[in-house]
Amino acid sequence: MAIITNHMPTEELQALDAAHHMHPFSNGDELSAKGARVITRAKGVTLTDSEGVELLDAMAGLWCVNIGYGRDELADVAARQMRELPYYNTFFQTTHVPVIALSQRLAELAPGDLNHVFYAGSGSEANDTNIRMVRTYWAEKGKPTKSIIISRKNAYHGSSVGSGSLGGMTPMHAQGGLPIPDIHHINQPNWWAEGGDMSPEEFGLARARELEEAINELGEDRVAAFIAEPIQGAGGVIVPPETYWPEIQRICDKYEILLIADEVICGFGRTGNWFGSQTLNIRPHIMTIAKGLSSGYAPIGGSIVCDEVAEVINACEFNHGYTYSGHPVAAAVALENLRILDEEKIVEKGAAETAPYLKEKWEALTDHPLVGEAKIVGFMGSIALTPDKAARAKFASDPGTVGYICRERCFANKLVMRHVGDRMIISPPLVISKSEIDTLIDRAHQSLDECYARIKDEGLLKAAS
Ligand X SMILES: *Cc1c(COP(=O)(O)O)cnc(C)c1O
Given the rule CB under 6 A, which residues bind ligand X? Answer: 122-124, 127, 156-158, 229, 233-234, 262, 264-265, 290-291, 301
101-107 contacts at long range (C-beta below 8 A, 24 or more positions apart)? 101/331, 101/335, 102/326, 102/331, 102/332, 102/334, 102/335, 102/338, 103/326, 105/335, 105/338, 106/289, 106/302, 106/304, 106/338, 107/304
Between helix 307-314 and helix 123-140 the angle, nearest 10°, is 70
> Which residues, 6+ apart, have CB-to-CB distance to 214 below 8 Å?
150, 184, 186, 223
Work out how close the CB of 168 gets to ligand X at its nearest, in angstroms, rounded to a whole number.
12
Report the amino acid identity of residue 346: I
Complex with ligand X: residue 298 or 370, whichever CB lies closer: 298
Complex with ligand X: residue 262 or 373, whichever CB lies closer: 262
Work out how close the CB of 124 gets to ligand X at its nearest, in angstroms, rounded to a whole number.
3
Complex with ligand X: residue 127 or 382, whichever CB lies closer: 127
Complex with ligand X: residue 323 or 433, whichever CB lies closer: 323
Beta strand pairing call for 148-152 and 371-377:
unpaired
Complex with ligand X: residue 133 or 265, whichever CB lies closer: 265
Work out how close the CB of 300 gets to ligand X at its nearest, in angstroms, rounded to a whole number.
9
Work out how close the CB of 375 gets to ligand X at its nearest, in angstroms, rounded to a whole number.
17
Residue of minimal CB distance from ligand X?
123
325-359 burial, b at 16+ Cβ within 10 Å, e below that, comes to bbbbbbbbbbbbbbebbbeeebbeebbeebbeebb
Work out how close the CB of 156 gets to ligand X at its nearest, in angstroms, rounded to a whole number.
5
Complex with ligand X: residue 68 or 299, whichever CB lies closer: 299
387 close to 461: Cβ distance less than 8 angstroms: yes
432-446 burial, b at 16+ Cβ within 10 Å, e below that, comes to beeebbebbbebbbb
Work out how close the CB of 276 gets to ligand X at its nearest, in angstroms, rounded to a whole number.
10
Structure-derived torsion over alpha carbons of residues 170, 174, 180, 185, reported in degrees to the nearest 10: 20
Work out how close the CB of 396 gets to ligand X at its nearest, in angstroms, rounded to a whole number.
30
Complex with ligand X: residue 132 or 414, whichever CB lies closer: 132
Work out how close the CB of 329 gets to ligand X at its nearest, in angstroms, rounded to a whole number.
17
Q: How long, in residues, is the chain? A: 465
Work out how close the CB of 167 gets to ligand X at its nearest, in angstroms, rounded to a whole number.
8
What is the rounded CA–CA span in Å between residue 272 and residue 209? 27
Nearest Cα to 420, choosing from 397, 396, 404? Answer: 404
Complex with ligand X: residue 123 or 269, whichever CB lies closer: 123
CA within 13 Å, CB half, 242: 1
Complex with ligand X: residue 74 or 172, whichever CB lies closer: 172
Largest CA distance in the chain: 66
237 close to 375: Cβ distance less than 8 angstroms: yes
